[in-house]
């Protein structure tokens, strides 16, 4: 038990250490058939900064590495946090090339602020949610109905975090489902012991076994396979649509557009699918 | 006034080297001063009280005052005897003990939070022993107080220790010759003579506890009214209402300024 917890912590610490800035991958020296993308005459080391929702951490890190591999000399730097935090940082003058949000609201705010390009904004994936439980399942939760049992320690994203908003939306949907009592969401929300600042914190508290259950994205459960999971009925679940856009202040707008194109390409979508997201391209 | 005079002298005479000191200082002063000014500038408007009196802000304020006061009390109750031991007794392993007490002062709060979670979490190394007793510490107000005490109490112990060390050993010897017990010595000689250092320690500890963020959010989580203290509300406020975050920041800055004023008075008297 102790070992497991320690191992998880070491991984969590490692992730935290290399989360915000992915280590630069040296440009491959293999001959490239495609011409290098940078429009400048001399190949200069180029960097693009991508602000992405915390739930995209694993998938975008992998996409970033692949993008760097096909664009020699380009480094992709990520800033992963809750979409609301990222929106605030951008409003306060943070410079980035691409913004990938876990909900439309934050993107719309940036468009209103004249910080994001309305016409370059597109939905690049769908995501749904589920309930995660620690591997040891300390509260012996077997069904969704068990979440309403008094004394369960449930951890959600804060109401300011998209995953937290979606979770509450799903609970409200369950109230209307005949399989649940009409005050199901009230009972479940009374069990909330913490509203975490981003969805990955919900995963961490569940991995540590401190929470009995958490509500996160399907993609988060894929990234943490040791956790148990309970799915929501499809009709009650929320399909979260993630928009992505080039930012108006982008130092590298062309490269930013290339990155978005790569995310929407079959290769990019395959990586997203691998990490549990629902691709938008058929 | 004297600064202005000197400034004038630098201008009138040809003592240019003065700028060697002024210019680098200005860099730091600008860096320290402008952000504080900006927080006030942005928050002082017609809506200030609407934000400052918002339920989220008030409940964070209430919880912060309660928890920081309790952790300061805890720091004094347990830290004063410890400081006394460290100041007066000689024993093996004292250096290790002093190192342990000083460690949280330099440790990043995130390390403190993680360490607390690993030690006292429900699945923690020691926390699991509490489970049969029906005690689970994470996500409780008690966890907030533990986190604050962990990072802030060492400041009190350090300050109190200095106070006890500074007392003239001849006074102690005289008291012991007169037949005073250790407890009498502590109560009648040490406490009255060290009170200024103790008070300084209390102010430092209280301020640090009030500002605690990293260890709290990791160990105690975030729930309004139970674990969401002012620094946490400020952090989350960034994501929905900048107004509440700014109003709370202004309150914390003002409280800190008042406490620093008290601290200056204490230190000034001490060395006068």
pLDDT at A51: 95
Cβ of A5 within 8 Å of Cβ of B118? The answer is yes
Which of B111, B117, B123 should be substituted to probe chain A, the one whose Cβ sees the most A Cβ atoms within 10 Å? B123
Give percent above pLDDT 70 in chain A.
84
Q: What per-residue confidence (pLDDT) applies to B6? A: 63
Please indicate whether residue B2 or residue A225 has the higher confidence score (pLDDT): A225
Across the interface, whether the CB atoms of A153 and B139 are under 8 A apart is answered: yes
Q: For A27-41, A73-87, B47-61, B197-211, which range has the lowest pLDDT when averaged over its residues?
A: A27-41
Chain A positions in Cβ-Cβ contact with residue B243 (cut-off 8 Å): none
Q: Using 50, 70 and 90 to split pLDDT, how confident is the model at A8? A: very low
Global ipTM: 0.76
Contacts across the A-B interface (CB distance below 8 Å): 71
DSSP A44-81: --EEEEEEEEGGGHHHHHHHHHHHHHHSTTEEEEEEEE
pLDDT tens digits, one per residue of B178-232: 888 888 888 888 888 899 999 999 999 999 999 999 999 999 999 989 999 999 9
Q: What is the pLDDT of residues B144-178, one digit of tens each?
A: 999 999 999 999 999 999 999 998 888 888 888 88
With 0-12 / 13-18 / 19 or more C-beta atoms within 10 angstroms meaning exposed / middle / buried, residue A200 is buried
Q: What is the pLDDT of residues A78-104, one digit of tens each?
A: 999 989 889 989 988 899 999 999 989
pLDDT band per the 50, 70, 90 thresholds, residue A13? very low
Q: What is the pLDDT of residue A161?
A: 87
pLDDT at residue A10 tops 60: no
What is the per-residue pLDDT for B2? 59
The answer on pLDDT for A211 being more than 90 is yes
- With an 8 Å Cβ cutoff, is B238 touching chain A? yes
pLDDT above 90: residue A266 = yes
pTM assigned to the model = 0.76
Smallest CA–CA distance from B233 into chain A, residue: A197
pLDDT (0 to 100) of residue A31 = 43
Residue B22 contacts A, CB cutoff 8 Å: no
Hey, which residues 76-105 in chain B have their CB within 8 Å of chain A?
Answer: none
Q: What average pLDDT is seen over chain A?
A: 85
């Amino acid at each position: 038990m102790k070992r497991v917890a320690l191992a998880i912590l070491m991984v969590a610490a490692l992730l935290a250490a290399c989360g915000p800035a992915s280590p630069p991958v040296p440009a491959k020296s293999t001959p490239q058939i495609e011409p290098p993308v940078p429009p400048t005459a001399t190949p200069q080391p180029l960097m693009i900064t991508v602000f992405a929702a915390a739930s995209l951490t694993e998938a975008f890190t992998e996409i970033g590495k692949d993008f760097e591999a096909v664009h020699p000399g380009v480094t992709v730097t990520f800033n992963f946090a809750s979409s609301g935090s990222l929106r605030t940082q951008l409003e306060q003058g943070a410079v980035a090339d691409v913004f990938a949000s876990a909900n439309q609201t934050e993107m719309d705010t940036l468009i209103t602020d004249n910080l994001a390009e309305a016409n370059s904004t597109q939905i690049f994936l769908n995501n749904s949610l589920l309930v995660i439980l620690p591997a040891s399942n300390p509260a012996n939760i077997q069904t969704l109905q068990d979440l309403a049992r008094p004394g369960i320690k449930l951890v959600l994203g804060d109401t300011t975090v998209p995953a937290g908003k979606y979770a509450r939306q799903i609970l409200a949907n369950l109230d209307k489902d005949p399989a649940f009592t009409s005050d199901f969401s009230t009972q479940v929300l009374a069990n909330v012991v913490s509203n975490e600042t981003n969805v990955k914190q919900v995963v961490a508290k569940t991995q540590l076994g401190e929470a009995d259950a958490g509500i996160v994205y399907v993609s988060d459960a894929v990234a943490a396979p040791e956790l148990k999971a309970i799915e929501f009925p499809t009709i009650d679940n929320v399909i979260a649509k993630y928009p992505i856009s080039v930012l108006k202040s982008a130092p590298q707008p062309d490269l930013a557009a290339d990155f978005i194109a790569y995310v929407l390409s079959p290769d990019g979508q395959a990586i997203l699918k691998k990490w549990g997201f629902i691709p938008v391209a058929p | 006034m004297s600064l202005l005079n000197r400034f004038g002298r630098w201008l009138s005479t040809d003592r240019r080297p003065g700028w060697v000191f002024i210019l680098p200082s200005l860099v730091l002063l600008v860096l320290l001063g402008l952000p504080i000014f900006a927080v006030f500038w942005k928050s002082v408007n017609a809506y200030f009280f609407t934000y400052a009196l918002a339920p989220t802000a008030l409940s964070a304020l209430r919880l912060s005052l309660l928890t920081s006061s309790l952790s300061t009390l805890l720091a004094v109750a347990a830290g004063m005897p410890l400081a006394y031991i460290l100041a007066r007794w000689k024993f093996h392993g004292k250096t290790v003990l002093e190192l342990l007490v000083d460690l949280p002062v330099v440790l990043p709060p995130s390390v403190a939070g993680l360490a607390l979670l690993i030690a006292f979490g429900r699945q923690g190394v020691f926390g699991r022993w509490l489970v049969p007793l029906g005690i689970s510490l994470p996500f409780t107000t008690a966890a907030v107080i533990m986190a604050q005490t962990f990072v802030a109490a060492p400041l009190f112990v350090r300050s109190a220790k200095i106070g006890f060390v500074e007392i003239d050993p001849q006074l102690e010897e005289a008291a012991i010759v007169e037949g005073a017990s250790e407890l009498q010595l502590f109560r009648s000689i040490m406490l009255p003579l060290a009170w200024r250092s103790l008070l300084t320690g209390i102010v430092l500890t209280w301020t640090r506890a009030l500002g605690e963020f990293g260890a709290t959010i990791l160990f105690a989580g975030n729930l309004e009214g139970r674990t969401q203290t002012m620094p946490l509300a400020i952090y989350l406020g960034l994501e929905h209402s900048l107004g509440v975050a700014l109003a709370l920041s202004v309150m914390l800055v003002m409280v800190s300024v008042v406490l620093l004023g008290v601290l200056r008075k204490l230190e000034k008297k001490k060395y006068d």
